[in-house]
Structure 1
Amino acid sequence: MANTLHDPKNVLIDRAERQMDDHFADSDLTTRQKLALTCRIAYDGGHDSGLAGQISARGQQPGTYYTQRLGLGFDEITEDNLLLVDEDLQVLEGEGMPNPANRFHTWIYRARPDVHCIVHTHALHTAALAMLEVPLLVSQMDTTPLYDDCAFLREWPGVPVGNEEGEIISGALGDKRAILLAHHGQLVTGATVEEACNLALLIERAARLQLLAMSAGTIQPLDPARAREAHDWTSTHRRNQANFAYYARRALRNHPDCLTDKVNL
């Protein structure tokens, strides 16, 4: 006999969140492992654009972060070939050089102590949407983690290898978790690697949905209150962990060389 069919929505939400706390534990993966997996997940998710784009995560020491070596594609990144760099992009661990465009990551990390991972790519649909100089429109339930959480930089400041581009991009991002960069691509941030990885896949899907919807008619807006509720419901730490674990398992089936040792996910 059912006992919950007359429970209000807030009670059901609270119950589900407690159950997720019981069933999804914190990951034993290292930052290097999570970042390498994110590179492979992004590659499989359509974020490949040659050597363009950077994925980074804070290191253990202040003012340091891990990122990929210039010359390697996302599908070639392993936990062992990642670099640890300082805010001047000087290599502290690893061989090779980082992408000079990583400089604007430094500006974001300095401006946003809450950010621990950045995923910047030139994925096909976000790059196509960026060519139109229109903001990302969130109007579908699956994409609500980005509702009122994606900024828009309308003017392209040029290749982001100077400090001025770092100031412009970090300033335009503000307190949002994501930003669409006109004539450029997308950037998402996360308090964890898992969160940033999930948002990177989601913003590319949202851009694809938007382009499809724009080709068919006029996009209708979501009810703001319901959209904010969905944003919060789909943006929890445990949900990010569960999503990332699924993407990581799939990536390891496609790219078993990504990690040195076998892990449980």
Structure 2
Amino acid sequence: MADTLHLTKSEIVARSTQQMNQQLHEQTWTPRQKLALTCRILFDGGHDSGLAGQITCRTEDRDTFYTQPFGRGFDEITHGNLLRVDHDLKLLDGKGMPNPANRFHTWVYRARPEVNCIIHTHPLHVSALSMLEVPLVVSHMDMTPLYDDCAFLEKWPGIPVGNEEGEIISTALGDKRAILLAHHGMLVTGKTVEEACLLALLMERAAQLQLTAMQAGTIQPIPPALANEAHDWTSTAKRHAVTFDYYARRALRRHPDCLD
């Protein structure tokens, strides 16, 4: 006879969380390895748009960050060719130049000290949705990590290489983890590289679902209380880590040169 039939939902959630924390073990990738893996994961996930898009993560001293060299696509990024730059985009380690658009990342880092990774890309469905000047609609269980956690910048401020764009985007982001940028693309943040990577994948998927559903009818909302419950259930460091490891294993099978 089952001995859990009398448990409440909150008790089952607490029990499951304890089991995950005890039994699921994540890889001990370095920040540079995680960043390189994320580039390959995002490439496979439809985030490729030539040389558009940037990914950064703070280094150990927090006043500098790693990023990919400008001129290389996400499918070419390895652990060894990442750059280390400061908030003026001055090259401190590595060969090459950072993307000038990394400037607006520095505004987000200064405004959000808890953020350790930023991903900005122009994937197909997010970009298409951005052209409609409508916010992202989260109305499916799998997308609830983005529920009430995705801001919207409804007007395009131009190319994000100046300080003005950095201030506009960081202000519009506020305390959210993600933002849809009209006529542009998307930006996600994370306390960890793993968190940011998964939110980026989810955001493109969410945009694809929204565009598909809009063709069939009117998208119906989900109950806020249940959506917030699902958001918190899936937005934990352990789930981020073990899910990232799955995508990393898949990426390494396709891109064995990633961790050169």
After TM superposition, the score normalised by the length of structure 2 is: 0.99
Aligned amino acid, residue 204 of structure 1: E
Q: Deviations over 1:158-217 (max 9, x none)?
A: 000000000000000000000000000000000000000000000000000000000100
**Residue 228 of structure 2 corresponds to residue 247 of structure 1:** no
Aligned amino acid, residue 67 of structure 2: T
What is the aligned partner in structure 2 of residue 106 from structure 1? 106
What is the aligned partner in structure 1 of residue 80 from structure 2? 80
Q: Deviations over 1:209-240 (max 9, x none)?
A: 00000010000001000000000001011110
What is the aligned partner in structure 1 of residue 204 from structure 2? 204
Q: Shift in Å at residue 61 of structure 1? A: 1.5
1 CA distance for matches of 2:129 and 2:147?
17
Aligned amino acid, residue 10 of structure 1: S
Aligned amino acid, residue 230 of structure 1: A
Q: 1:122-133 residue pairs with structure 2 within 5 A?
A: 122-133=122-133
Conserved 8 A contact 1:119-1:187? yes
**Residue 2 of structure 2 corresponds to residue 2 of structure 1:** yes
Q: Identity of paired residues, percent?
A: 70
What is the aligned partner in structure 1 of residue 214 from structure 2? 214
What is the aligned partner in structure 2 of residue 166 from structure 1? 166
**Structure 2 segments unaligned to the other structure (5+ residues):** none
2 CA distance for matches of 1:116 and 1:104?
14
What is the aligned partner in structure 1 of residue 134 from structure 2? 134
Conserved 8 A contact 1:70-1:99? yes
Instruction: Tell me the secondary structure at the aligned position of residue 166 of structure 1.
Output: helix
What is the aligned partner in structure 2 of residue 230 from structure 1? 230
Q: Shift in Å at residue 137 of structure 1? A: 0.2
What is the aligned partner in structure 2 of residue 143 from structure 1? 143
Aligned pair count?
260
Q: Shift in Å at residue 74 of structure 1? A: 0.1
1 CA distance for matches of 2:131 and 2:106?
26
Instruction: Tell me the secondary structure at the aligned position of residue 92 of structure 1.
Output: strand
Q: Structure 1 245/26 Cα, relative in aligned 2: closer, same or farther at 3 Å?
A: closer
After TM superposition, the score normalised by the length of structure 1 is: 0.97
What is the aligned partner in structure 1 of residue 68 from structure 2? 68
Aligned amino acid, residue 149 of structure 1: D
Conserved 8 A contact 2:25-2:242? no
Conserved 8 A contact 1:24-1:241? no
Aligned amino acid, residue 183 of structure 1: H
Q: Shift in Å at residue 63 of structure 1? A: 1.5
2 CA distance for matches of 1:31 and 1:115?
14
1 CA distance for matches of 2:244 and 2:187?
18
Instruction: Tell me the secondary structure at the aligned position of residue 219 of structure 1.
Output: coil
